[in-house]
Amino acid sequence: MDSSNKELVLNQQTIHNRVQELGQEIAKDYQDKELVVIGVLKGAFVFMADLVRAIDLPLSTDFIQVSSYGDSTTSSGKITLVSSPKQLIKDCHVLLVEDIIDTGLTMQWLARHFSELGAASVRICSLIDKAERREHTITIDYAGFAISQGFLIGYGLDYEEKYRNLPAIYHLNI
């Protein structure tokens, strides 16, 4: 991809600083609780890796993979469970980690799913909050950045499975 196809939105240092702040806030809120941090694959893996290192608590990690996009840039409106966490959830405090929340459909579904599995609590942490696209009511307990426009790539965010490895976040001109 040549540089004319992307515009910098968040640089590495800005992302790093905010992830550190989120980690401190989460550590404070979950003191003396059994915390399970569950990343939503594939997009959250970079953010989650940095986030869990910023949470100064004993915790466990796992992943879930769902799909609502397929190969499209817009949600199909239907959630498909691709893979489940191996960790036992009952009576644990679950922190769902997502790269970006727009319509809210996936997070609403996941929060309900983990509540039904017997989680003591379910909270949501998202690197990017695109609230203007929200169609489903959800609460993002820990939001990194509110970004309203553009198709974003980098730091785990992809377009057609590419660009996740970029160290900053860019708007992709497609």
Residues with active-site annotation? 102
What span, in angstroms and rounded, lies between the C-alpha atoms of 41 and 39? 6
- Contact in structure between 48 and 37 (CB atoms under 8 Å): yes
Q: What is the pLDDT along the chain (174 residues), one digit of tens a residue?
A: 555 789 999 999 999 999 999 999 999 999 999 999 999 999 999 999 999 999 999 999 999 998 765 555 555 578 888 887 888 899 999 999 999 998 899 999 999 999 999 999 999 999 999 988 788 889 999 999 999 888 999 999 999 999 999 999 999 997
Q: Is 144 helix (H, G, I), strand (E, B) or coil?
A: strand
Q: Report DSSP state, residue 162.
A: B
Region 3-172: CATH code: 3.40.50.2020
Task: Quote the pTM value.
Answer: 0.90
The domains of the chain are located at 3-172
Contacts of residue 13, defined as CB under 8 A and 6 or more positions apart, other chains included, come to none
